[in-house]
Amino acid sequence: MGRRFDLIVFDWDGTLMDSTGAIVASIQAAATDLGIVPPSDERASHIIGLGLIDALRHALPDLPAERYQAVAERYRHHYLSRDQDLLLFKGAAELIAELTAAGYMLAVATGKTRKGLDRAFEVSGLGPCFHGSRCADECHSKPNPQMLEELMAEFGVGPDATLMIGDTTHDLLMARNAGVAALGVAYGAHPREILEAQAPLYCAGNVAELAGWLRKQS
């Protein structure tokens, strides 16, 4: 592999882990539990990648702010009941291992909480592969560039040598706001046409395509 980039930052849900369906179902179930009309699949999937409170604000725009916490608690209940069954996308573990062996610095920037990401690291076994991470309860929610800015500062890597990879426009806009190049993956939460409208360097249809691009271009 080449060395166009030194630091590669991955989103988690919908990029490395196949969790989009579980997140959508958990948001909808949480709303139903509390007698709230649940969001559509499209609306619920669009907010994936945001911090939970920001996500609820977008998914349930008519919900009074004082009810966010109750919905968030029910969401966590439903999601945690199934997250042990969530799997990495086919080829994701092998891709991370290959990038690690090639000497890249790897990081995660996610809408998960720190507790949620630590749990995902443990379940997937990928935790030791990542040199750093930032979560939504530690930084401003995407597309604010804080996560990427802090990771670049931590590793002393500039925007020109940093690459962001994610499945939502929130990821791509965060990269743009940080002055960082980005790749979209069209197998997660947001459809290809919405991702391509943000002009990423490339939009991969599966992990194999993503790996192929990284081997040739990164």
Q: Residue ranges of the domains in the chain?
A: 7-17+86-217, 20-84
Q: Is the pLDDT of residue 7 over 80?
A: yes
3-class state of residue 164 by DSSP = strand
The domain defined by 20-84 folds into: DNA polymerase; domain 1 (1.10.150)
Confidence band (pLDDT; 50, 70, 90) for 74?
very high
Provide the 10 A C-beta neighbour count for residue 2.
10
Whether pLDDT at 170 is above 90: yes
* Residue 123 confidence (pLDDT) above 60: yes
Q: How far is CA 107 from CA 68, 95, 130, 162, in A?
A: 30, 14, 5, 10
Q: Which of 6, 11, 83, 167 is catalytic?
A: 11
Q: How far apart are CA 69 and CA 76, in angstroms?
A: 11
Residue 34: phi and psi, rounded to 5, are: -100, 15
Is 11 among the catalytic positions?
yes
Q: Are 84 and 122 in contact (CB under 8 A)?
A: no
Query: Which of 13, 83, 167, 171 is the catalytic position?
Result: 13
Residue pLDDT, tens place only, 9-32: 999 999 999 988 888 898 899 999
Active site residue 83: no
Mean pLDDT, residues 54-65: 85
Composition of the chain by helix, strand, coil, percent to 5: 50, 10, 35
Q: Record the pTM.
A: 0.87
Tell me which residue of 202, 137, 145, 205 sits closest to 170, measured CA to CA: 145
What is the reported pLDDT for 59? 85
Q: Does domain 7-17+86-217 have CATH number 3.40.50.1000?
A: yes
Which 3 state secondary structure label does DSSP give 9? strand
What mean pLDDT do residues 133-139 have? 96
**Is the model's pLDDT at 54 over the cut of 90?**
no
Q: Are 158 and 5 in contact (CB under 8 A)?
A: no
